A = this chain, B = another copy of it.
Amino acid sequence: METPDHATDTPAEGPEATGIAAQDWATASAEPQYRAAVVDLLGALAYGELAAFERLAEDAKLAPTLGDKAELAKMAAAEFHHFERLTERLTAVDEEPTAAMEPFAKALDDFHRQTAPSDWLEGLVKAYVGDSIASDFYREVAARLDSDTRSLVLSVLDDTGHGNFAVEKVRAAIEADPRVGGRLALWARRLMGEALSQAQRVVADRDALSTMLVGGVADGFDLAEVGRMFSRITEAHTKRMAALGLAA
């Protein structure tokens, strides 16, 4: 994702890879809690991609031109292929993808239901915000993962970046009518608020996943560190919105 700012670098790629990050899946997954956390993570990401596919395909109907519709359909198809790669990995590690996804279905469905765009521009902002937050989250989490799972997550991440299309269209709309910016800024804040609220529900529900997100099983669970991760992602979001002309 070529965004103005990344929420974090990818420390796992640096020299400091230690602990879980220095292990492969075969070694790391011998620890049942780590294994459960990764299955949770892959299930959550997979359902997230499937839900994103559905919403982008739905929002494509709001497109003012055929070319715009095709661009949103392209983003949707890309999300579907992420979904496929994530579920293939679940199957490869002998987990049933549906069972792994089910615990996250409600939070993601609720998020999308509560943030159904009312027009094309809201749909574009949502596509861009969603793509960017997903990208930031993938980067954050990659650092906590064994080398095999990290490769998968980073390869899915590499394939995103369709959001630039949305950026151009939104910028042009704000230039044409500056009042549009105020409305979309409010909308972007609502998106982020809903995303955080659903994410916090998931964190509260899924112990193994949350523990892993804050630094691996060995280091114990630290809710404050999850909070800091959310806060880094929110900051990156705010900077991106400002760059887009949507002052927070």
Chain A contacts to B: CB under 8 angstroms:
47, 50, 53-54, 57-58, 60-61, 65-67, 69-70, 73-74, 76-77, 80-81, 83-84, 87, 97-98, 101-102, 105
Contacts and interface: CB of A to CB of B under 8 A. Distances in A.
Contact of A65 (B53, B76, B84, B98): B98
26 contacts: A47-B66, A50-B69, A50-B73, A53-B57, A53-B76, A53-B77, A54-B61, A54-B69, A57-B58, A58-B58, A66-B101, A66-B102, A66-B105, A67-B97, A67-B98, A70-B83, A70-B87, A70-B97, A73-B83, A74-B84, A76-B76, A76-B77, A76-B80, A77-B77, A77-B80, A77-B81
A50 B68 CA distance: 12
Nearest to A81: B77
Identical chains in the assembly: 2
A120 to B, nearest CB: 15
A183 to B, nearest CB: 27
Nearest to A70: B50
Secondary structure type dominating chain A contacts:
helix
A57 B54 CA distance: 6
A74 B50 CA distance: 10
A61 B66 CA distance: 23
A99 to B, nearest CB: 9
